[in-house]
Structure 1
Amino acid sequence: MAAMAAMAAQALLLLLVCAAGARTALLQEEPLRAEVRVMHGDSELFVGDRVTLRCSVPGHPSGWSYNWYKAGVPLVGYSNTGSMYTLRAASPLQSGPYACQGQRRGTGPQRTQLSPPLYVRVCGGWVSLQAPLQPVILGREMTLSCRVRGNPRLEEVVFYKDGRELQRRPHPQLHLSRLSYQDEGAYWCRASWGQQWRWSSAQSPAVQVSVKEMLTEPVLEVLTGVPALRGREMILSCSAQLIVARPGLRLRYSFRRNDHRLAVDSSEDTHTVLQADRRDAGDYQCKVTVDGLGLAKWSNSVQVEVMDEEPVKTEVPHVTPTVAVETQTVELSSSPPNWTELPPLAPDWAESSSLDTDWTELSPLDTETEDTHPVLSARDAEDVFNDTESLSTTSHRGWATNLTSDTAPFPESEPLLDTEEQRGLNQTSSVY
C-alpha cells in the first residue's frame, strides 16, 4: 500500500510540474507589453512644473532599454535609453499622450508591444481639474480634484458638470460612486483663495469624462458541439475582452459545472474534458475576473448532455431496377387478307346421285295441324344449301356486310335456313 501511495504521489507531482511548464510556455508565447506610470509629480501640471514618467515590462524587470513616444512619434534623444523620462519646466506644447516600448538583446532581438498611452496635460492658467485616466469604468468610482498653482489655501471650490453646479465647498475634491452612463459629460471647477488682503478666483479648463464597460459580457461555448459524445473530447471556451486597457490588468477564467469549480482559476480561456462521461453532463458556466480591480462577470449558462456515439451507418445507394421491354411493331394492312378460296362442299347425297337426275316435285302433305313446314324439292334444297355455304365462306373472310361490290345483302323478309334445318331437308329429300 505504501508503494502504491508513493507512486500515486509521484504521478501527481509529475502532473503538476507538467501543468506548470505548460503554463510557463504559454506565458512566454504571449506578447509582452510595456507600461508607463507617473513616478514623480502629476500628469496634470502647471507651466513650469515637472513630472517624471517611468517605463517597465511587468514580470520581466531587467535587461531592457526603452524607446519613448509622444502621440506615436519617437522623441528625439530618448531612443534606447533608460526607464525614466522627465518633463522639466513644462509648457502647454508638451501636453499629449506619452508611451514607451522595451527592447533587449539575448538569443534573439526582442521587442515589447507599445504601452497604453498616458496623457499629460500642462495648464497655462491658475486652476486645473485633475481627472482619472479616461475612459472611466462603469460601476466604479471617480474622484475629481481642483488644483491651484502654488497650492494656496482655498476658501471655496465649486464643481460644475455641463454648466450645472454639482458641489460648493472649501474641499477641493468631488467624489462620484457607482458611475453610470449619465455621469458622462464636461466637468470643470472654480477655486477662490486669498492671502492677506488679496483675493483671487479662477476657473479650470473643462475635462471630458467618458464612462465605458471595462469587460465585455463573457460567452461560454462548447467548441466540440452539443450534445457531447461519450468517450470523446469536449472543449469549453470562455470569451471575454477588456474594453478599457490599463497597465497590469489580466483576465482570469474559472469554469464550473452545476456550481462546482472544475479547476483552479487561470489565464486559460478554455477547459478540456479528455473523455466525456455521463457524470460530465450538467449546467456549465464560466466566470471572468479582472486582476487588480476585483471586477468579475458570469457568462451565460449552457446545458450539456452526454450521449453514446451512434454507430456509423453505411449508406447503400438505391438502385432502381430497369426492365427491358422489347416492343414489336405490327403493321396492319388496309386491304383484305389474301385468303385461299376453297371449293364449296357438296352434300353427302350428291356423291351417289347425278345432278341431272329429274326430281319429282312432291305436293305438300295434307295435315290438320296449323304448325306445318313447307317442303322443298331436292333442287330447291340444293340451291339453298349452295347459298348458305357461300354466305358462310364470305363471313369467314370478314366481308359480311358487302359480299361484292355488285351484291346487296339479303332482305330481312327472307330469312336464311340454318344448318340444322338444311340437314333436315336433305334427309327428307333422301326419303322421297
Structure 2
Amino acid sequence: MKMDSVISLVVLSALLQLVVPQAPPVTSFRAVVERVSGDSRVFSGESVRLKCSIPDDHKSTWSYLWFRGSKQLPQTGEYFLLWKAHIRDGGKFYCQGVRDTVVGNIHTIQSLPIEINVDGGWAILQAPPHPGLVGGTVKVTCRVRQSPQLHEVILYKNGIEVMRQEGPNPHFYLTNLTMEDKGMYSCRASWDSNRYTHSVISVDTPVQVLELLSQPVLEIVTNNVLIPSNMMKLICHHQYNAPPPAPPIHYYFYRNNDRLGVATSENHDLVKQTPGHYSCKVRVPELGLVRWSEPKTFGQVKGPPMMMPPMLHHRDPPPLARPNSSPDLSLPPAAEPTAQRPSTHRSTAASAFIQPTEVSTQSSGPLLKPSQPVPNTLLSTAQSLDQTAFTETANTPENSGDMFEDSGDMSGESGDLSGEYGDV
C-alpha cells in the first residue's frame, strides 16, 4: 500500500510539471540608461540621445526595450534618439535588456529613470545633474534659444535676484556652497535686436546641495544572535559625500562623555551592556571635519542625557579642499546680489512656440534697472580657504585633543583593531 502511494505521488508530480509551465528565469542584472548627447532640459526642436547598458561580464547578446513612463516605445536598439523633440515627448525614460534562450526570454531589471524635460520657451537655466557639495562650486548656465548676443543676465533664487552681470557671459558660479544655497533657481536674459530689447526668463530649476559629512546617528543593537548576551553593538550611521579618492574617516564612541577604546576605521564597536548616555563622533582629519551624534540613553540612567563636552559640538564643515591647498582663482568673481523680485513673465512649457517680449529702445527708461546691492552672502573661494586654514589650527580642546589622540591611536590601529571583538 505504501508503494502504491509513493508511485501515485511521483506520477502526480510529473503531471503537474507537464501542465504548469515553468516561469522563465529572470536575471539579477539591472539595465543602466545614460544620456550621451543633449541635456536633461532641452528646447523644443532639439534632440537627445540615450544609451542602454547591461552590466553583463559574460558579454551576452542583448536586445533592448525602451519605455517612457509605463508605455513601451517602438525602439529596440541599444541607443534611443529623441529627435527634434516636442513638448509632449518629455518624461521619464527607462530601458530593459532582453535575450532569447532555450527556456524563453530572459529580462533584466528595468533601469532607474532618466528624466528629459522639453521646454517650449526661450530660456533654460542649466544646472549640474548631481548635487553640489558644501564648500564646493556649482556652475549654472542661462541658455537662450537661437543663442543671441546677450547684454545682461540675471540669476534668481526662489524668486529673489542674487546675481547680475553685464555682457554676453551666460555662466554663474555659486562658490563656497552652504546648505542655504539649495533652492529653485531661474534666470532672465536680455538682448537687443532690430531696435528692440528682448527679455525672457526661464522656469525654475532645482539646485541641490549635500553636506560633505552629515551628522551621525548612533544605533544601539542588543537583540542579535551574533552578539554575546552581555554585549551590545554601537553603530555610527552617517553619509560621507566626498568625491573619490575620499580621505579616511576616524570613528570614536563615548559613554557619559568618556571615550570607549581607541579611534577605529570601522563605524561600529562592541561594548559591554552598561547603562549610560552613549554618543559617537566622526572625524576626517585631512579635511578638518568633525561631527557628533546626539546622545542616546541605554538602560536605567538617573538624570537627563549628558550634553557633549564644551567646544565639542560639530562645526560647519570647511570647503572641499585639502589643508594648505591653493584656492582656484580662475573662477570669475561673483556679482553683488540684489533684492529685486523678478517679473512674473516666465518661459513656460506651452504647446505653442512662445515669442520673447519686445520693448522699444526709444522708451523713456531702461528695461531692467539695477537694484541696490546688499551684503554678499556668497563668499569667495579664497576667503573660505583662508578661514579653513585658521579653523584647522584653532586651539579648541577637541582639535588639540584629537590630534594628540590620533597620533597614538591610529599609528597602532592595526594592532588595536585586531584585538577587538570583530565584525558582527
Fold conserved (TM > 0.5)?
no
Q: What's the TM-score once normalised by structure 1's chain length?
A: 0.43
Q: What's the TM-score once normalised by structure 2's chain length?
A: 0.44
Please identify the structure whose Cα radius of gyration is greater.
1
